[in-house]
Structure 1
Amino acid sequence: MEELTAFLEKHEARIVETFRKRVVVSEHDQFKDTIHLNGRAMYRMVLRYFREQMTLEDIKQLAYKVAAERNRVDINIGDFVHNVCLGRNLILELLQEGSFEPDALVNAIIKINECFDVFLVQAISRYTDLKNSDLAEKKQFIERSHKDRLTILGQMASSFVHEFRNPLTSIIGFSKLLKEDYPDLPYVDIIVNELYQLNFRVSQFLLVSKKGIIPRKSEVINLQQLFEETISFLNPNIVDVNADIQCVIDAECELTGYRDEIKQVFINIISNALDVLYRKNGKKVVAIEVFQHDGTTEISISNNGVPIPPDLLPLIFEPFFTTKELGTGLGLYVSKEIIERHAGTITCESSEESTRFTMQFSSEIVREAP
């Protein structure tokens, strides 16, 4: 073995130089001019392992060092594996130039493979751990920044909404009086409806701010009546889109919660459906189904408009995510918050045939608002 080790030591410079010429290096690798030194370190690792001057634990620590360096420059891990295998192959090819006893050659090949296998496995394992740790830190930073944005938005929305709602309420009240005094005056109904729509949109920001939630008691809500109110509220939009609203609702279905919040969920989802159907040709359908089974209330609202792309489906409940030119990206986010506050869940499935939002509520009483 000493003869073989001496042979490898004699040809170190040539093999390292060959490694430098054939190694795969990324242009943005800050260590690209010195990466051949890793090849030399691997070569000397084999020599020291042959002489029992290096243990498998030492190889592991070297692998960790190289993995940390490779992680810092964010290289393609496939290139790293290629380069390690290149170093192994150069040493094995070199051994074929010597005249060694078969037994000594076989033992040398076994030790070389053992050395490189441990190095590669430990390096890849460490690289993966470091990469996962970096991703976790970035995700945590993004989530923290996202929460900060929501906090700022909440503070701004709360201040703005309270200042805005006072004159808005007055305008709505005077519009109603105007309608009573002049019942034949055109466009008053449209003005009142638009004011209610504006008030509804403002309420979404109020719910996001959390500060706009006034402590109150939950109540038992008849879902058929609530959907009738919702459809009546949205009737101008429904007529404009020329949509067919199809309802299959169990008249006995009830839900314990906050009426105005649940109504807002229904308005959000049906409004989104109408927006999608507005661009559709042919028959336009919004289907509403409500039923109870095994202590669970299930509500589904579907439409036959353009499907949601599969890559966007996981994002639709994220705050500020919207595909509308003038959308706020808060409707579905607020809806999900409300439903979860009512001990419920909401899911969405979308295909060429229909897009369906399904809400499920258990018999658990809703948590009181803070």
Structure 2
Amino acid sequence: MINVEVYRGLPVTEQAVEIVERKGTGHPDQMCDSIMEAISVALARTYLKEFGVILHYNIDKCLLAAGRVEKRFGGGRVLEPMELTIGDRATYSAFGKELPIREIAVEAAQTWLRENLRRVDPTNHIQYRVKLAPGSEELSDIFRRPGDVRCANDTSAAVGYYPLSPTELTVLAVEHELNSAAFKRLFPETGEDVKVMGLRRGNTLDLTVAMPLLAERIESEKEYFDRKQKIYAALKVFLSEQSGFSEFGIGFNTLDQPGRGLGGVYLSLLGTSAEDADSGQVGRGNRVNGIIPMGRPIGTEAAAGKNPMSHVGKIYNVLAHRLARAICERFEGVRGAYVLLLSRIGEPIDQPLMASAQLILEKGVAPEPVARRVEEMMAAEFAGINAFCLALANGAFSIC
């Protein structure tokens, strides 16, 4: 069932206060989401290569337990490695052939770590605990049932929206900038564990940014605060050029306190707080559009690692945002959209129990003609859902 109506609430950009968060590449929660999604893509590709079809799996349970390090100005050492638990369900064999699931999972995790965290040695700094078991008979049977479209393996709801607000875009842009290759070349002493919290009050943006400096590149407390000031200045320039906010404030590593030595500075040996301070878990990080928006409706499903052919907790989460964007870009007079999708377990994923779109229209736009066209577009998108799912399986869409 498809329902299209006019949005009756106050757009977030017109509200007095807006709060948006972004957890960056080296944040423990973001690491878990990214690694599980990398494993999901690796498994999907393996199943397609070996069997021509994606089989049952859900790699959406993960815990990154923090390790222990000894830090000092100028360096340090790892005392105890981090531990990554990779859990839930996977198909180990089909059509008489066994697959090395554990090895595929660990290799995908190590590849992601190697490509995204400069200081983390994926072999020596992390231990791997793989707890993947075959799925239940009923959920595995979904992949043996006839039909071109898989059945939903859960009763689940998801919500998406478009466009992102200026606050959301700025928070996202700041983290991307701080973790960009160009910024790391300019400031190689910065780690990847970036967290950005944005608070908009009226037309003023206030950012709180956390990002460690690498111990081996900082020889003293004085050098730490000198480098911190240079990084702050660069961030201020970036915001003045990119954010669109004429008034903004920045708090950078606000726990710091001069005169307290190692206790008053944010140093990291490996570039992530998972080395000794903070553990991580799937589902506690960014939503599939890359941010954590406090003033928007958000779902509770963790999309990372879920099966891209049957698990609506992933499929509908990503699809809801893409549908909202398509509505805004294709139909004149629509300046914003919310899309809510609901599945029922056992029903084909191209036949949601409810697909609801709420439209924010320009003044004077008649809602009925737009609603009819949006309904037709949404029906067409669901008719082609298999192609979308295969692209999702291949990692075509960022989900965190």
Q: What TM-score, normalized to structure 2?
A: 0.19
Q: Between Structure 1 and Structure 2, whose CA radius of gyration is higher?
A: 1
Q: Which has the higher helix share?
A: 1
Q: What TM-score, normalized to structure 1?
A: 0.20
Name the structure, 1 or 2, with higher relative contact order (CA <8 Å, separation 6+). Answer: 2
